[in-house]
Structures are given as C-alpha cells and as structure tokens.
C-alpha cells in the first residue's frame, strides 16, 4: 500500500485477507470467504494476544496504547520515512 493510500485509509475498516503462503507466496488468492471459521478463530486469538500484551506463553504485559486492528490506526506508530 502506498503512503498516500495509507493516509487516506486511516480510521477506516480494515479488510481481512487470508492466504495459503505455502502455495500462494504472491498472495493472489484470498481465501477469507472460503474459510470464515479459520479467519474467526485467528481473529479471536489475535484479540487475546493484544489483550495479553505479549505473544509469549504465560507472560502478561501492557501495551503502550490502545491497539485496534479492526480499523487502520489514526496515527503512525513511528515517524514517517522520508523519500
């Protein structure tokens, strides 16, 4: 996604995509609609990791700010790169 498109997408809903990278490294065939149960399970797991603040088993931490993945974040997490 270009920087301009990213800026235009801020605060808008994200689009869920799901690919089999073993057979589709170029991410050409989105499988999200064909496998909603997998997408749902992964979404639940991802939300849990965010709430836990860490992906390490048994380790609980806190995020520096609210983390949302249902929309494109309002602000950058790091300074913009210069061309």
In-domain check, residue 81 = no
Task: Give pTM, 2 decimals.
Answer: 0.65
In-domain check, residue 83 = no
Q: Convert the pLDDT of each residue in 1-44 to its tens digit.
A: 556 666 777 788 888 899 999 999 999 999 999 999 999 999 99
Average pLDDT over residues 57-77: 76
CB 18 within 8 A of CB 30: yes
CA–CA separation, 57 and 29 (whole Å): 32
In-domain check, residue 79 = no
In-domain check, residue 69 = yes
Domain count, the chain: 1
In-domain check, residue 67 = yes
Return the HEC string of the chain.
Answer: CCHHHHHHHCCCECCCCCCCCCCCCCCCCCCCCCCHHHHHHHHHHHHHHHHHCCCCCCCCCCCCCCCCCCECCCCCCCCCCCC
Q: Convert the pLDDT of each residue in 51-62 to its tens digit.
A: 888 788 777 787
In-domain check, residue 7 = yes
In-domain check, residue 80 = no
- Residue-number span of the structural domain to which 35 is assigned: 1-73
């Amino acid at each position: 996604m270009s920087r301009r498109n990213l800026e235009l997408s801020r605060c808008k809903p994200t689009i869920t995509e799901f690919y089999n990278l073993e057979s589709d490294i170029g991410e050409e065939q989105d499988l999200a609609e064909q496998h909603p149960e997998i997408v749902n399970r992964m979404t639940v797991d991802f939300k849990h990791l965010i709430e836990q603040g860490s992906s390490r088993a048994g380790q609980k931490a806190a995020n520096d700010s609210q983390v949302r993945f249902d929309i494109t974040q309002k602000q950058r997490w790091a300074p913009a790169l210069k061309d």
